[in-house]
């Protein structure tokens, strides 16, 4: 039951340590509160390990990474592993530069992740060493379509087996998979690509979902992905009705997460389990 | 008259130097403009002292502090003291990690603050060396209630005497105190805890209030705390009516500060002077 | 035709590398998407050159600069020059501190800019070495008025000749000039000064306009300045009607950029070519 995943976030109020980029950090904090979690941000090597220790889960996002924050990601990730805290990776822009690709790969080598969430180009970069990444958006050459979905599912299962992490490949169609089971999710609207931070916010929210549901990482991740897509649909309705644009869409998306009920999630989630 | 404090901010348009965290910095800048002040952000050791010199007041907020910004806080704080500029401290997360607690204590040792604003757990950490801090929110174990309010007031007065600063302990009930007099303020709504940055924004706005009212730091701080709580009430009314969530609440809170009149503050402020 | 400039942004979808301040970075990303571009932020010396290589244009904004980001600005700027990418400079707070003024001057020495956009005080600092800059807002002593507009135009032409860049001096009246021709633009509303980031957002959007229109930097810059002012007018209408404040104004401004059509820009642009 996806709805139980949401209920657990609201009841357990997980405290999430975020080492994330400064572009979307405010949105990540507000969506974490909106879904029922509690955010704390800390990225200095002197602070990160201790902050992770008082939290329940860790969100590592490599957008705008720099020489100071990389060691923080590694040391906090290792500490979270020692404490058996769920850890999620958002490999923003992996494939777009050597620093990003190498940092993501080093994180995968040294930290055990519960979930890896990215667009198809980023995940291909990590799994295969190659992709068509351009900037921080997925390349259209990599798009998940009806024609290639079976092979993408197989690819996700294989990468999950290799890493031990649930793999969340998000886009028009979302794939959430462990090595055996895959949720194919079709919630969402194209306007989600018209704001910065849709992906970052989803990763942050997923950190809360998996931290509140450590016994069920796959379903918790699927619930978070469905919730975000469903809230995108709701936000789009309001924005379209009011003739608003992408900045209002961002606010209404977070608002919808704040107001989303377990019942609405259960009824509105559009997925197929394969 | 609290209303005079607000009028002075709008007339004197104080320029505030902010060394603050990157999570809520945009909201701090916009609320400073909304209340009638003018923000400038600068946190590099090479820049901070000079920027503080051209400003009227300094806001030091230790959220997301790092090795580069700590020396900037110390040197800008000392320079502001030399120039007799009001300086305010927001000890975000003091008690949550050694770096935060030690930095806050070092700032208290080396810089004279006009105001220290935090939640009860943060202020207890600074005053007593212990608290029940968890993350960046106050612990429920530390909550100010009808039963313990007398002892919290006594505690605030004592800490004010020790530091020479006005102490603002904010939460469901706000305590604003110097060593002799205390405002007990009951403006505000619970939804203010459902956004990131309520506290940071209040500290930033208070910097403007005290810089515009240097002859009356206690009343200026009380006026800022009442104004924020009152605007929270107004914002909540709109959000509740429209069925919006926490992201819209943040925007409407800043909007309400922008539109708040001296008269509304005078009539809407809910406080008792003890 | 200004409208063609806008159409080219929407069709060519330019990818813009931003090295910018953390105060307004989220707004810059969202307005870049709103206008039809695509943002990527990267400011570490190890990452910036490579990221700029995969982009079409570069936006350098010196707000909140620090010891780590200055070398990134210089190296990315030089790489962008080698690749003949349009590069824009926003000299935030030039004149307010030695670090800012010196960094801006060093950038002008070592990087060739297509456009320099600032307020009159910032541009005077760069061109003349002196100004009345206070903080990050233009000094009223420097204001462009009916009385001095001829001399400001001559000044802008001269600075354009010296730097080879189109000069955009924005305020109540905007001057966009190369060494021969000047657009005097009167779109806009005073409320644009009541949010943080009006200038930063305009610079970011202009980066997209000039990258999509490299053959016509002057007209592209003028189109961007007109578009921003026009969207300010539209946003103000909504905000005034609804009794909203500056935070909503920011959102509605970005929304209006998102919804602006080529036709509306053509009809709504208020400028004179001198």
> Has residue B18 got a pLDDT over 70?
yes
- Write down the pLDDT at residue A108: 98
B with C: how many residue pairs have Cβ under 8 Å apart? 97
Angle between helices B2-12 and B217-242 (to 10 degrees): 90
Q: Which two tokens stand for residue B36?
A: 């009638």
Q: Is the per-residue pLDDT at C224 higher than 80? A: yes
Point out the residues of chain A with pLDDT beneath 70: 132-136
Nearest to C195 among B30, B38, B68 (CB): B30
Is C128 within 8 Å of C163 (Cβ atoms)?
no
Contact assignment for B47 to C22 by CB distance below 8 Å: no
Rounded Cα distance, A152 and C152, in Å: 60
pLDDT for residue C136: 67
**Cβ separation A51–B245 shorter than 8 A:** no
The CATH number for B65's domain is 3.40.1190.20
For chains A and C, count residue pairs whose Cβ atoms are closer than 8 Å: 98
Q: Which chain C residues are Cβ-neighbours of B50 within 8 angstroms?
A: 96-99
Looking at residue B146, its pLDDT comes to 86
Which of C30, C256, C257 is the closest to A195 by Cβ?
C30
Among B177, B179, B270, CA closest to B219: B177
**What is the C-alpha separation between A92 and A59, in angstroms, rounded?**
12
Name the residue facing B26 among C24, C66, C98 (closest C-beta): C24
Report d(CA C269, CA C253) in Å as an integer: 16
Numbered residues of chain B with Cβ closer than 8 Å to any chain A Cβ: 21-24, 26-27, 63-68, 93, 96-100, 134-137, 194-197, 243-248, 250-251
pLDDT of residue B136: 67
Q: For B85-105, what is each residue's pLDDT tens digit?
A: 999 999 999 999 999 999 999
Report whether A2 contacts A26 (CB < 8 A). no
Q: For residue C243, what pLDDT is reported?
A: 98
Contact flag B195-A42 (C-beta cutoff 8 Å): no
- Please write the tens of the pLDDT for every residue from C233-268: 999 999 999 999 999 999 999 999 999 999 999 999
Instruction: Report pLDDT for A130.
Output: 77
Tell me whether residues A65 and C44 touch, CB distance under 8 A: yes
Task: Name the region of C84 (left: φ>0; alpha: ψ -120 to 50; beta: rest).
Answer: left
Point out the residue among B26, B45, B68 whose CB comes nearest to the CB of C23: B26
β-strands C182-185, C174-177 pairing: antiparallel
**pLDDT tens-digit readout, A157-172:** 999 999 999 999 999 9
Question: Quick check: A15 and A40 in contact, CB under 8 A?
Answer: yes
**Cα–Cα distance between B11 and B115 in angstroms, integer?**
22
| Residue A75, domain extent | 2-273
A19, A40, A54, best to mutate vs chain B, most B CBs in 10 Å:
A40
Residue B38: phi and psi, rounded to 5, are -140, 130
Provide DSSP, C160-178.
Answer: HHHHSSEEEE-SSSEEEE-
CA distance C63 to A221: 38
The HSE-up count of residue A63 (CA atoms within 13 Å, CB side) is 31
CA gap C45, C24 in Å, rounded:
21
Best mutation target, A30, A106, A135, to test chain C (most C CBs within 10 A): A135
Which phi-psi region, left, alpha or beta, contains residue B270 (left: φ > 0; alpha: ψ -120 to 50)?
A: beta
Helix (H, G, I), strand (E, B) or coil at C226: helix
* Residues composing chain B: 274
pLDDT in tens, A113-156: 999 999 999 999 999 987 766 666 777 777 888 889 999 999 99
The residues, any chain, with a CB within 8 Å of residue B222's CB and separated by 6 or more, are B2, B176, B183, B185, B271
Q: Tell me the per-residue pLDDT of C76-119, one tens digit each, with 9 for 90 and over.
A: 999 999 999 999 999 999 999 999 999 999 999 999 999 999 99
Q: What confidence score (pLDDT) does residue C48 get?
A: 97
Q: How confident is the model at residue B134 (pLDDT cuts 50, 70, 90)?
A: low
Q: Is the pLDDT of residue C160 over 80?
A: yes
pLDDT digits (tens, 9 = 90+) for C25-66: 999 999 999 999 999 999 999 999 999 999 999 999 999 999
The pLDDT of residue A132 is 67
**Record: contact C258-A250, CB cut-off 8 A:** no
A64 contacts C42? CB cut-off 8 A: yes
Which residues are bridge partners to C271 per DSSP?
Answer: C185
Contact in structure between A218 and A114 (CB atoms under 8 Å): no
Bridge partners (DSSP) of residue C17 are: C40, C58
CA distance C168 to C178: 9
pLDDT in tens, B182-216: 999 999 999 999 999 999 999 999 999 999 999 99
| ipTM, interface predicted TM-score of the complex | 0.96
Write the pLDDT tens digit of every residue in C186-209.
Answer: 999 999 999 999 999 999 999 999
What pLDDT, on the 0 to 100 scale, is given for residue B143? 83
Give the gap in angstroms from C-alpha A130 to the nearest C-alpha of chain B: 33
Cβ of B258 within 8 Å of Cβ of C250? The answer is no
Contact A38 B250 (CB under 8 A): no
Q: Looking at residue B139, what is its pLDDT?
A: 74
Q: How far is Cα A87 from Cα B197, in angstroms, rounded to an integer?
A: 25
B55 DSSP assignment:
S
Query: Taking 80 as the threshold, does the pLDDT of residue B141 lie above it?
Result: no
Number of domains forming the structure of chain A: 1
Residue B135: pLDDT above 70?
no
How confident is residue C139, by pLDDT bands cut at 50, 70 and 90? confident
Distance from CA of B178 to the nearest CA of C (A): 32
Please report the pLDDT score of residue A133 as a whole number.
65
Task: Give kind and range of the element (H or E) at residue A115.
Answer: strand A115-118
From the list A182, A190, A188, the residue with the least C-alpha distance to A202 is: A188
Site of tokens 């394969």: A274
Residue C131 has pLDDT above 90, yes or no: no
Percent helix / strand / coil, chain A, rounded to 5: 55, 15, 30
B208 close to B151: Cβ distance less than 8 angstroms: no
Residue B32 to residue B15: CA distance in whole angstroms: 9
Q: Please give the residue of chain C at the shortest CA–CA distance from B50.
A: C97
For residues B171 and B260, is the Cβ–Cβ distance under 8 A?
Answer: no
Q: Which two tokens stand for residue B233?
A: 């009430």
Q: How far apart are CA A187 and CA A184, in angstroms?
A: 10
pLDDT at C207: 98
User: For residue C204, how many C-alpha atoms fall within 13 Å in the half-sphere facing its CB?
Assistant: 32
Could you give the residue ranges of the DSSP H alpha helices within C175-216?
A: 198-212
| Cα B191 to Cα A10, A187, B188, C214, distances in angstroms | 15, 29, 8, 48
Q: Which of B269, B250, B87, B114 is nearest to B186 (CA)?
A: B269
Task: Please give the residue of chain A at the shortest CA–CA distance from B65.
Answer: A44
> DSSP letter at C41?
E
């Amino acid at each position: 039951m996806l709805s139980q995943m949401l209920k657990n976030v609201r009841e357990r109020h997980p405290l999430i340590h975020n080492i994330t980029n400064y572009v979307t950090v405010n949105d990540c904090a507000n969506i974490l509160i909106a879904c029922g979690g509690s955010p704390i941000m800390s990225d200095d090597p002197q602070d990160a390990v201790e902050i992770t220790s008082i939290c329940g889960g860790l969100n590592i996002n490599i957008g705008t990474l720099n020489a100071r924050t990389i060691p923080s990601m590694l040391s906090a990730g290792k500490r979270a592993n020692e404490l058996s805290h769920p850890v999620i990776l958002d490999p923003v822009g992996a494939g777009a530069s050597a620093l990003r690709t190498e940092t993501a790969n080093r994180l995968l080598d040294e930290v055990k992740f519960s979930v890896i969430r990215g667009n198809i180009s980023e995940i291909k970069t990590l799994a295969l060493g190659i992709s068509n990444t351009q900037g921080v958006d997925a390349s259209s050459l990599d798009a998940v379509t009806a024609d290639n979905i079976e092979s993408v599912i197989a690819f996700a299962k294989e990468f999950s087996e290799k890493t031990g992490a649930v793999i969340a490949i998000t886009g028009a169609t979302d794939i959430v998979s462990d090595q055996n089971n895959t949720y194919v999710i079709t919630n969402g609207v194209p306007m989600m690509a018209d704001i910065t931070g849709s992906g970052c916010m989803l990763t942050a929210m997923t950190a809360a979902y998996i931290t509140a549901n450590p016994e069920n990482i796959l379903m918790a991740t699927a619930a978070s992905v469905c919730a975000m897509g469903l809230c995108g649909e709701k936000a789009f309705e309001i924005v379209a009705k009011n003739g608003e644009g992408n900045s209002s869409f961002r606010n209404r998306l977070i608002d919808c997460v704040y107001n989303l009920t377990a019942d609405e999630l259960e009824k509105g989630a559009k997925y197929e389990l394969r």
